[in-house]
């Protein structure tokens, strides 16, 4: 089932995943219009898509996702919404009211706009972090959508994404103004890497400051399975096709799907090394301090920051839950997405690694100049 002739709204269209999805829509689907919904859309983003735009109209909607009237205007006349926009925060640096307002209330307002404006399909970009890991660091190996796990989420990011996902799935089957029904689904990607990944860029910058030695924040045994951004974009496209297909719509609607690919399971720190080693980076063999002691240090930092909160807001760069996330085996299969969405990774591990490495190589001179010029 094709999205040919459809009008698609992409929230967070100028972000890491959003830009990749828009490009994929332009390359593989003859959509009538793609609407960029973001706080700010730089002109160069649209200019970079001119070569693959074809006859597709590119429209810009700049505004706040917490503005219901703005969302109704952006959705009017559209058929499919890809809701990617959210605040990502794993150190709790953002005030809870802010992250809840964007991640939860923004999603709710967008769902209401879809119902009012007769949107047929709604694809929500969730995250593996709505599953955990829990504070105990209980592992999951090759988990599935049926895996039972006591999550006890700690991050405000995880909590708000979980609530937004639940609201999205509950909205499946809601009656539209025109008598139709809204179909929704949620995708839970693993840690997403690839060209434009700010986390990889940050790790590379830290390595440059540390004489081309990457910091170790994960034990080697804490396996995760990152997923390439091009494959996550493919999963979104397949989800939209499935929700449009009358036969698959009933099967897919109201469900969530884990999205991974064939990237080999490895720890977060060792993954950074895998993609950066060809650029001359090594990695620390062990933690600078024992991991248990690191937890104690984080506990004291968190306690001091909490005591100072009435007077000044200080956010420690690392907390215990982040350490747990980085040091817990947490891998998931994409078999359900393959069976029900028809999702298959478009890029192999070798291709994904090469594209990522080439992008990092192009950024490395700029990163070195930026760091050493300070």
Rounded Cα gap, residues 125 and 110, in angstroms: 13
- Residues recorded for the chain: 374
Nearest to 39 by CA among 94, 87, 92, 105: 87
Give the containing element (helix H, strand E) for 124: strand 121-125
67-121 per-position pLDDT tens digit: 999 999 999 999 999 999 999 998 888 999 999 999 999 999 999 999 999 999 9
Q: How many CB atoms are closer than 10 A to CB 25?
A: 24
Structure token pair of residue 1: 């089932």
Q: How confident is the model at residue 374 (pLDDT cuts 50, 70, 90)?
A: low
Domains, the chain, ordered by start? 7-194+227-264+331-349 (3.40.50.720)
Residue 1: pLDDT over 80: no
Map tokens 């991974």 to a residue. 260
Nearest to 32 by CA among 80, 98, 83: 80
The pTM for the full model equals 0.95
Nearest to 114 by CA among 61, 171, 169: 171
Contact 124, 168 (CB under 8 A): yes
Spell out a b/e string for 264-284, using b for 16 or more CB atoms within 10 Å of the CB, else e.
Answer: ebbbbbbbbbbbbeeeebebe
Contact 126, 187 (CB under 8 A): yes
Average pLDDT estimate for 147-174: 93
Q: Which residue has the higher pLDDT, 248 or 236?
A: 236
CA distances in angstroms from 171 to 6, 32, 162, 281, listed in the order given: 22, 26, 14, 47
What percent of the chain has pLDDT above 70?
A: 99
- Sequence-ordered list of residues with C-beta below 8 angstroms from that of 351, at least 6 positions apart, any chain: none
Query: What is the SS3 assignment for 154?
Result: coil
Query: What is the SS3 assignment for 177?
Result: coil
Residue 248: pLDDT over 80: yes
Find the catalytic residue in 157, 228, 334, 343. 157
Does the annotation count 157 as an active-site position? Answer: yes
325-344 per-position pLDDT tens digit: 999 999 999 999 999 999 99
Q: Which residue has the higher pLDDT, 372 or 89?
A: 89
């Amino acid at each position: 089932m094709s999205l040919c002739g459809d009008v698609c709204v992409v929230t967070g269209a100028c972000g890491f995943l959003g830009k990749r999805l828009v490009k994929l829509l332009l390359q593989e689907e003859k959509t009538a219009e793609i609407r960029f919904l973001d706080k700010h859309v730089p002109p160069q983003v649209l200019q970079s898509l001119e070569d693959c735009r074809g006859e597709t109209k590119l429209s810009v909607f700049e505004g706040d996702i917490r503005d219901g009237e703005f969302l109704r205007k952006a959705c009017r006349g559209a058929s499919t919404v890809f809701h990617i926009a959210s605040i990502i925060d794993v150190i709790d640096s953002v005030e809870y009211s802010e992250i809840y307002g964007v991640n939860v209330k923004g999603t709710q307002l967008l769902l209401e706009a879809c119902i009012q404006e007769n949107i047929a399909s709604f694809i929500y970009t969730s995250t593996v972090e709505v599953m955990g890991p829990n504070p105990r660091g209980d592992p999951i190996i090759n988990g599935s959508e049926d895996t039972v796990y006591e999550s006890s989420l700690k991050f405000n990011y995880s909590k708000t994404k979980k609530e937004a996902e639940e609201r999205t799935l509950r909205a499946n089957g809601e009656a539209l103004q025109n008598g139709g029904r809204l179909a929704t689904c949620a995708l839970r990607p693993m840690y997403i890497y690839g060209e434009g990944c700010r986390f990889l860029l940050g790790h590379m910058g830290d390595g440059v400051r540390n004489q081309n030695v990457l910091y170790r924040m994960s034990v080697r045994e804490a396996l995760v399975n990152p997923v390439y951004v091009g494959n996550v974009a493919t999963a979104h496209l397949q989800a939209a096709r499935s929700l449009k297909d009358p036969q698959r719509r009933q099967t897919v609607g109201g469900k969530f799907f884990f999205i991974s690919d064939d990237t080999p399971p490895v720890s977060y720190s060792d993954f950074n090394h895998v993609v950066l080693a060809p650029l001359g980076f090594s990695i620390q063999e062990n933690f600078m301090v024992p991991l248990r002691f690191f937890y104690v240090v984080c506990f004291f930092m968190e306690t001091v920051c909490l005591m100072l909160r009435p007077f000044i807001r200080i956010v420690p760069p690392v907390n215990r839950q982040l350490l747990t996330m980085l040091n817990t085996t947490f891998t998931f299969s994409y078999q359900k997405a393959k069976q029900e969405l028809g999702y298959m990774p478009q890029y192999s591990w070798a291709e994904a690694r090469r594209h990522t490495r080439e992008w990092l190589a192009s950024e490395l001179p700029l990163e070195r100049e930026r760091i050493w010029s300070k």
